[in-house]
Structure 1
Amino acid sequence: MSKLSISVLSILTLLSVRSSVIAQGTNPAVIMARKQVPIICYHQIRDWRPKDSKNAKDYIIQIANFKQHIKMLADSGYHTILPDQLYAYLTTGAALPKKPIMLTFDDTDEDQYTIAAPELKKYGYKAVYFVMTVSIGRPHYMTKEQVKALSDAGNVIGSHTWDHHMTSKYKHDPNPKKDDWVIQIDKPTQKLEEITGKKITYFAYPFGIWNKSGFGELHKHGFKIAFQLAEKRDPNDPLMTIRRILGSGYWSAKTLSNSIRNSF
């Protein structure tokens, strides 16, 4: 066989492999066609205080209510999955356990470590903790030792920016000290990798707000999936707009169960 024939054959092989990856892997249409996995987003787990506003209570689930949520999920036969499993399922069709669900926690509140994690452990559940690094070590927030302990216990740590600025407003700057992508994405991700000793490949948008202009940057920065809240997914890049629903402080376990069925 001539060198030219071998070269042509190599190119055709590469194109075939690439087409297969697109068809079976990150092809948006294939991903969009797969049934969505229910994903719940929690924030604070504590009892309400007199000064808590009506809006704030949406993001604060009282301790007893949270425990009822988790018990309902376990009693209903849900099995928690982690982002690597979700990614494999969406891109390759890899099998998931019966009645899969993902539990996520945003903003680094200490009660996620002291209250949520022990409650999940009772049921053999794992979760994803999206950490805002500016808060690490501050009063009422997790320490780096607690973040590492969650990671070491088999949970996943994800990036949630430095100080919760919306990605839709990020701008590049020649000065790295003024570049939003460096400040909000690169440095926080590096810090979390130093704390956990693991690669950070999952991201949650502050406030769940995203725009298409940021997708390329998130891919470039190494994120495999980015999680929003309840908006529709972008059909051209669904991996960057994975849906979650808020685990509202106003929801009973029954309301959560109905919301899971109706939302996904």
Structure 2
Amino acid sequence: MLKQLFSVLSLGLISTISVQAQSNTAAIMARKQVPVICYHQIRDWKPTDSKTSKDYIIPPAAFRDHIKMLADSGYHTISPDQLYNYLTKGAPLPSKPILLTFDDTDGDQWDVARPTLKKYGFKGTFFIMTVSLGKKHYMSSAQVKQLSDEGNTIGGHTWNHSNFKKFAGKDWQIQLDKPDAKLQEITGKQITYFAYPFGLWNAQNLPELHKRGIKLAFQLADKRDPQDPLMTVRRILDSGYWTTKTFSNNVRHSF
């Protein structure tokens, strides 16, 4: 009898948790999306750059103009913590919030992005691929630590930019656990945000991020998973082809 009662109570508790989770997810999906911008390389184009590559490479002059436009237009950069609290609790955000993210540990993010952001009092979120740390054209561990110490957020981006959709077995340790432990050692802070290499994700692997305490995971411009919007936050690339006006229009209308 007691066993049956326990079973009924357990089913009721699971049902309640399930309803609460669905309610929370619905609330998250109903909140207005915050613009999230993604950057990779910030350098002038080379003759060898392909047409597709140029979408991911923004010339420094264009980057500076775009960031200036955001400042002049009254945008305020926010952190992933602020975005998480807004999405999960409805916490207030500053007027015209925007999240600026930088993938792949590129050295030009230190050389160009960092001083440009500082000029306007902006903060960024840097998703670090740990295999590149200290290598030519990439940031060093000391630079990543300084970015963190200056109030920017450091997130994970795997060990060597492998496809998240193919992860299985030991890949979780190699591509997530060890890199995040390395970044925690560098920054002294827990790593709770993640960006998918190539923006690629699949629903069946998302529970592995939850197990590891990831609060938000960032893709690119695909639709969010309505069952797990926190693990499929949308971003748009600030394309190397865009004028400042085009960038402004996309920030205002893409979310």
TM-score (norm 2): 0.92
Which residue of 1 is the match for residue 192 of structure 2? 201
The reply to whether residue 86 of structure 1 matches residue 83 of structure 2 is yes
For structure 1, the 5+ residue unaligned runs are 1-10, 173-178
Indicate the RMSD between aligned Cα atoms, in angstroms. Answer: 2.0
Indicate whether 1:63 and 2:60 are aligned.
yes
Counterpart in the other structure of 1:157: 154
Distance in 2, Cα, partners of 1:88 & 1:55: 35
Measure the CA separation in 2 of the matches of 1:141 and 1:99. 32
User: What is the deviation of 1:22?
Assistant: 3.4
CA distance in 2, matches of 1:120, 1:252: 19
CA positional deviation for 1:49: 1.4
Which 4+ runs in 1 deviate beyond 4 A? none
Aligned residue among 225, 232, 237 for 1:246:
237
Instruction: Give a deviation string over 1:38-63, Cα, whole Å, max 9, x none.
Output: 00000011111122111111111001
Q: Give TM-score, length-normalised by structure 1.
A: 0.89
Deviations 1:60-111 (A, max 9, x none): 1001000000001001110000000000000000000000000000000001
Which of 178, 195, 211 is matched with 1:220 structurally?
211
- Aligned AA for 1:122? K
Q: 2:201 aligns with which of 192, 210, 217?
A: 210
2:125 is matched with which residue: 118, 125, 128? 128
CA distance in 1, matches of 2:225, 2:49: 34
Q: CA deviation at 1:114?
A: 1.1
Q: Is the counterpart of residue 27 in structure 1 residue 27 in structure 2?
A: no
The whole-number CA distance in structure 2 between the counterparts of 1:40 and 1:27 is 25
Selected match of 1:260 from 245, 251, 254: 251
Aligned-pair identity in percent equals: 67
Distance 1:48 1:148 in 2: 29
Q: 2:106 aligns with which of 104, 109, 119?
A: 109
Q: 1:163 to 1:233 in 2, by over 3 A?
A: same
Q: Contact 1:234/1:241 (CA < 8 Å) preserved in 2? A: yes
1:26 shift after superposition:
7.7
State the Cα deviation string for residues 177-208 of structure 1 (Å, max 9, x = none): xx100000000000000000000000000000
Partner of 2:48: 51
Aligned length: 245
